[in-house]
Amino acid sequence: MEIPIKTLWIQVLERLQLELSRPTFETWIKTASAERLENNCLVILTPNPFARNWLQKYYINTIARVVQDILGHPVEIYFTVAQGDEISFLNEGELTQAVPIPNNILENASKSKTITSELNYKYVFSRFVVGANNRMAHAASLAVAESPGREFNPLFLCGGVGLGKTHLMQAIGHYRRENYSDSKIFYVSCEQFTNDLITAIRNDNRQGFREHYRAADVLLVDDIQFIEGKESTQEEFFHTFNTLYEAGKQVIIASDRPPNQIPRLQERLCSRFSMGLIADIQAPDLETRMAILQKKAEYENIILPKDVIEYIALNYTSNIRELEGALIRAVAYISIWGLAMTVENLVPVLQPKTEKLPATPEAILSVVADALNVSIEDLKSNSRRREISWARQIGMYLMRQHTDLSLPRIGEVFGGKDHTTVIYSCDKITQLQESDRTLVQTLRQLSDRINMTSSQK
């Protein structure tokens, strides 16, 4: 029998109070409450959109784990906002991705999910800042939006992490929808395409899968690099691509590298990806980064002094997502502590990425344990269980990045390991990043959390 929701939430709070730092607990957790628990979905009420987005981004896994421990089975966590209690400097869901609860989520919780994703309403051409780094990709996207299925088919957008590929491809989708409302726009990540295929195979419904994807007028496929080595997905995608192409339908693909650098990609797919236009996006220059911040601030109704814009833009150079993250942190910090928006006030929260932050070993252990679902004791233990030694290696790498501790001292923090173990772990994680974008993203998120934990101290 389920325990009453109030009792559940009291227990969750008791557990989280012990696990999280005091400012984190007081600011984000204590202000939230459990609203409903139905069909293994727990809806958590938050005081404003900002708190909702913050919890969704940084604490959803922690809360889900604690709730699962208490109930003895997994639950899906959804965050919602108390009505009429908006934070003044934010519009609903503006600064980070909104996390709406579909009306029928509780009823449908046990049913299967829809096959393609929705477009993010913010990813439109008017919100995209054009600079030298993305001019060609932008022009090509606009051309494809106006005349799909013509000369740039497929359009292959490539560039490093967080540089605007998804934004541009979705802008094409929005443009078509706005101007041709009956146009069928399908946006899907490569991972989702694979999952849909697996589900179709499991349900013996491969035909349904094919009919669905081949009905698209414009097919947008994100992060295609993850198709590497997935033979069945490549096979299916090849046929989907051919069918759409021959019917004059537009295909747009985004990737963190050009087709010929995607390992274990079938030759025939590589050549098809290359037969339209490959448009790459580079890291933005200072002026473009400042213009992006300025535009974001305008959309969010935030007044940002010029020197603050310049300070952020100077310190976040290679990834626009990080640039936006810095703006979010700045606004949150200023708002929570009631400070003026000045460079001096922002220095503690916007440390340049290249500087080592004064993170404590305990904070790093706690962030890694929390994010990778192991305990701090596990990290310090001699256990060779795969997930524990993986978390330990990541922890050692991050400790090397974020502290000035010597290798032997890092070994000690992890329960008395030899310094050669630390070297091995750091080298391994460094090397893996060359081929594993997911790992790069995970490390970036963990670093952000470590920085945040440090700045909250």
Cα–Cα distance, 323 to 164 (Å, whole number): 12
313 touches 286 (CB < 8 A): yes
Stretch that binds ligand ATP, among 53-61, 127-135, 335-343, 425-433 (CB under 6 A): 127-135
Q: Is 53 in the site for ligand ATP (CB under 6 A)?
A: no
375 touches 362 (CB < 8 A): no
Q: Is 164 annotated as a binding residue?
A: yes
Q: Is 164 in the site for ligand ATP (CB under 6 A)?
A: yes
Q: Is 165 annotated as a binding residue?
A: yes
CB of 189 to ligand ATP, least distance (A): 9
Report residue 357 CA to chain centroid gap: 23
Cα–Cα distance, 352 to 322 (Å, whole number): 11
CB of 128 to ligand ATP, least distance (A): 4
Phi, psi (degrees; rounded to nearest 5) at 436: -120, 95
Q: Is 324 in the site for ligand ATP (CB under 6 A)?
A: yes
* Amino acid occupying residue 281: I
- DSSP count for the chain of H helices, then E strands: 21, 8
76 touches 43 (CB < 8 A): no
240 touches 204 (CB < 8 A): no
Stretch that binds ligand ATP, among 124-132, 200-208, 307-315, 362-370 (CB under 6 A): 124-132
What Cα–Cα distance (Å) separates residue 231 from each residue in 115, 220, 223, 226? 21, 20, 16, 12
Q: Is 292 in the site for ligand ATP (CB under 6 A)?
A: yes
Stretch that binds ligand ATP, among 15-23, 244-252, 263-271, 318-326 (CB under 6 A): 318-326
Among residues 321, 353, 419, 444, which is the contact residue for ligand ATP, using CB under 6 A?
321
Stretch that binds ligand ATP, among 75-83, 161-169, 232-240, 406-414 (CB under 6 A): 161-169
Nearer to ligand ATP, 97 or 232 (CB): 97
Cα–Cα distance, 55 to 321 (Å, whole number): 18
Nearer to ligand ATP, 6 or 135 (CB): 135
Under rule CB under 6 A, which residues in 213-272 are in contact with ligand ATP?
Answer: 223, 254, 256
Q: Is 129 in the site for ligand ATP (CB under 6 A)?
A: yes
Beta strand pairing call for 33-38 and 185-189: unpaired
Stretch that binds ligand ATP, among 156-164, 326-334, 368-376, 384-392 (CB under 6 A): 156-164
User: Is the link from the previous residue into 100 a cis peptide, with omega within 30 of 0?
Assistant: no
259 touches 265 (CB < 8 A): yes
Nearer to ligand ATP, 67 or 443 (CB): 443
Q: Is 176 in the site for ligand ATP (CB under 6 A)?
A: no
Nearer to ligand ATP, 329 or 400 (CB): 329
The alpha-helical segments, DSSP class H, found in 81-230 are 105-108, 135-146, 165-179, 190-202, 206-213
Nearer to ligand ATP, 134 or 455 (CB): 134
12 touches 3 (CB < 8 A): no
Among residues 52, 167, 417, 449, which is the contact residue for ligand ATP, using CB under 6 A?
167
Stretch that binds ligand ATP, among 15-23, 33-41, 162-170, 383-391 (CB under 6 A): 162-170
CB of 328 to ligand ATP, least distance (A): 10
- Give how many residues touch ligand ATP by CB under 6 A: 20
Q: Is 95 in the site for ligand ATP (CB under 6 A)?
A: no
Q: Is 163 in the site for ligand ATP (CB under 6 A)?
A: yes
Among residues 24, 46, 56, 166, which is the contact residue for ligand ATP, using CB under 6 A?
166
CB of 451 to ligand ATP, least distance (A): 19
Among residues 320, 364, 407, 422, which is the contact residue for ligand ATP, using CB under 6 A?
320
Residue labelled with tokens 């997911």: 438
Phi, psi (degrees; rounded to nearest 5) at 259: -55, -40
Which residues, 6+ apart, have CB-to-CB distance to 155 below 8 Å?
140, 141, 144, 172, 250, 251, 252, 253, 276, 277, 279
What Cα–Cα distance (Å) separates residue 203 from each residue in 46, 194, 239? 38, 14, 20
Beta strand pairing call for 277-281 and 155-159: parallel
140 touches 277 (CB < 8 A): yes
Nearer to ligand ATP, 63 or 224 (CB): 224
Token pair for 2: 């389920």
Nearer to ligand ATP, 200 or 312 (CB): 312
Cα–Cα distance, 35 to 43 (Å, whole number): 5
Nearer to ligand ATP, 272 or 289 (CB): 289
Q: Is 96 in the site for ligand ATP (CB under 6 A)?
A: no
Residue labelled with tokens 């993986």: 390
Beta strand pairing call for 41-46 and 218-222: unpaired
Among residues 128, 209, 241, 316, which is the contact residue for ligand ATP, using CB under 6 A?
128
Binding residues: 162, 164-166
**Applying CB under 6 A, which residues contact ligand ATP?**
123, 127-129, 134, 159, 161-167, 223, 254, 256, 292, 320-321, 324
Annotated binding site for ATP: which residue ranges? 162, 164-166
